[in-house]
Structure 1
Amino acid sequence: MSGLNRLNYHCGVYTIKHIECHVLGLDISLVSDDNIWGARIKIVWDLWEAANDPKLIERMSKYEPIKCSKPAEYVEIDDL
């Protein structure tokens, strides 16, 4: 898989596409510099459509974050 992500600003798209391939059981070779720009455009288009979806806008206007009853546990790195 050498030669991937030659441009630094594609790292987020590579991350999303690697996760997508893993979850869907697809061959990771589908993710390459040759097709990453198209994936970037697709992600932007999907976000644009979602941001302009009246049903989603209404649902998000009613969103209330979940209140946590206690803080999450954490591990000190020095303890590892």
Structure 2
Amino acid sequence: MIVPVESSFGAQTRVAQEAAIDRMRLAAMTARLNGTVVPVWQDGNRLAFRAPQRFHSFFRSLSLPIIRSKLNATLPCQ
């Protein structure tokens, strides 16, 4: 599950990022959505992400505009 987040996400501490990802996972479970939650954000002229290593080549092939054009749901998250 790809979740676009604000670019400021990249400046947060690892602990703060993990807490935010946990909230996204909870929101996904509440919405009965399954899968790995992967936050993505714009970092200068590239896409940044927090994903398992096995997904890195896939995410390196994407851009935020492409991702935004494919979004098909909203995940209410606090």
Higher helix share: 1
Q: What TM-score comes out, normalization by structure 2 length?
A: 0.29
Higher strand share: 2
1 or 2 for the larger relative contact order (CA 8 Å, sep ≥6)?
2
Q: What TM-score comes out, normalization by structure 1 length?
A: 0.29
